[in-house]
Amino acid sequence: MRILSSDERYLQRALELARNATAFASPNPTVGCVLVRDGAVLGEGAHFYDESDHAEIAALKQTASEGLSAANATAYVTLEPCAHYGRTGPCAAALVAAGVERCVVATVDPNPLVSGKGIGSLRDGGVTVDVVDAASPLALAARRLNDAFAFSIQHGRPFVTLKAAVSLDGYLAPPPLSRSVTHPHWLTGEAARADVQKLRHASDAILTGVGTILADDPCLTDRTELPRRKPLLRVILDSRLRTPPASALVKGAERDVLIIASRFAPEAVTEALESAGVEVLRVANSGGRADLPSVLKALQDRGVRNVLVEAGSTVNESFLASGLVDKVALYYSDVELGHGSVPFAGAIASPYALQQSLTHVTRETFPHAEGSTREDVKVSGYLHDPWDWPHTELRAPLIA
């Protein structure tokens, strides 16, 4: 282990560069790179999918554009450099060719088929490679940047995060009859809801059920006002095509709304929705509901790496019962809704019970309103660790 405190500083900078590329790298991983020699930064880069260049190439180009050479430099990368030919040449070979002397890698490639090859190729080229201890906070931060990429590249489906705002007694909403679309019932305050927008911003798709559309008429957009490469794909599970053409979602559709229907959905309604700019996809049904693995496969085929499920009780239950939820974000309000309110996920789990199954749990508080002493509490954790490979024997020898 040869990671120095100065290494840590440059790796933090590389992580920051990668974070700035959130919503721009998918379906590729989010990566940052800093080139340093004698305490001076020569060049920096991050991967933006539309610009093709990987972070290392972007940093090498920036170095060259300043009239500098990367010879004898140290390259700090948040993810193991690639060794394969994709849309671009291999970064490991480019670093070797540029004369880079040392490469500090925050985490190895999550794809078991290529993991270690970039490091091997650098070492073969005479570059000293130091890999950050997998248990350190830096390595953890680097992995968190690419949870969705790591999961979907190994499992062939998008990484699924289930988000829900719940009352203190674990309910989603007051009883249906006491609600109204014109006066939505917010359990949590503005700060917690702004945090949800950040989750949406980092997602490729958001998924809900038609029940939520009928009850709340939501827009389900990314309202962070931060730029993104592709619009957030809004997905509705709606076997019988009950989504009203006059709903906010359909009216705002710009090739970014996908309705998942069954084979039996009426053709005339399909045409009406399609002419409003909505894509209708028919997938297999099981037990009267969309077959979720088929839905996720269709999303993966569209380049979706991660899906945020923001839905009602029925859809939450279907996802949890199918074992297709990988991460959970629960926002607890301090309000009690009382018996007879809408349960969090049908009959199968209270949010408190679900919490017991989570790993890597984090807890965050948000003021319910400005100047108020009331707080909303976010509890977040994993049901499946996207980096927990069954292939540990591949990973073990790579950690320097």
- Report the residue number, 54 or 368, with the smaller CB distance to Zn ion: 54
Interhelix angle 147-155/137-145, nearest 10 degrees: 60
Stretch that binds Zn ion, among 47-55, 109-117, 160-168, 341-349 (CB under 5 A): 47-55
- Report the residue number, 87 or 263, with the smaller CB distance to Zn ion: 87
Decide: is 201 part of the binding site for Zn ion (CB under 5 A). no
User: Nearest approach, Cβ of 111 to Zn ion (angstroms)?
Assistant: 12
Decide: is 143 part of the binding site for Zn ion (CB under 5 A). no
> Which residues ranging from 219 to 238 are in contact with Zn ion (CB under 5 A)?
none
User: Nearest approach, Cβ of 51 to Zn ion (angstroms)?
Assistant: 13
According to DSSP H, which parts of the chain are helical? 5-19, 55-65, 91-97, 117-124, 137-145, 147-155, 190-201, 210-216, 248-251, 267-275, 292-301, 313-321, 351-355, 392-395
CA angle 69, 74, 76 (to 5 degrees): 120
The answer to whether the beta carbons of residues 214 and 317 sit under 8 Å apart is: no
The answer to whether the beta carbons of residues 280 and 273 sit under 8 Å apart is: yes
Backbone angles phi, psi at 21, to 5 degrees: -95, 10
Stretch that binds Zn ion, among 46-54, 96-104, 143-151, 248-256 (CB under 5 A): 46-54
| Single residue of 54, 157, 305, 378 touching Zn ion by CB under 5 A | 54
Enumerate the β-bridge partners of residue 234: 206, 257
Backbone angles phi, psi at 388, to 5 degrees: -90, 85
Decide: is 117 part of the binding site for Zn ion (CB under 5 A). no
From CA 142, how far away is CA 131, in angstroms rounded? 12
User: Nearest approach, Cβ of 31 to Zn ion (angstroms)?
Assistant: 8
User: Nearest approach, Cβ of 76 to Zn ion (angstroms)?
Assistant: 14
- Report the residue number, 43 or 351, with the smaller CB distance to Zn ion: 43
The answer to whether the beta carbons of residues 205 and 161 sit under 8 Å apart is: no
Active-site residue set = 56
User: Nearest approach, Cβ of 80 to Zn ion (angstroms)?
Assistant: 9
| Single residue of 82, 145, 235, 280 touching Zn ion by CB under 5 A | 82
- Report the residue number, 91 or 330, with the smaller CB distance to Zn ion: 91
Stretch that binds Zn ion, among 88-96, 99-107, 220-228, 349-357 (CB under 5 A): 88-96
User: Position 18: which residue type?
Assistant: A
Decide: is 77 part of the binding site for Zn ion (CB under 5 A). no
Interface residues with Zn ion (CB under 5 A)? Answer: 54, 82, 91
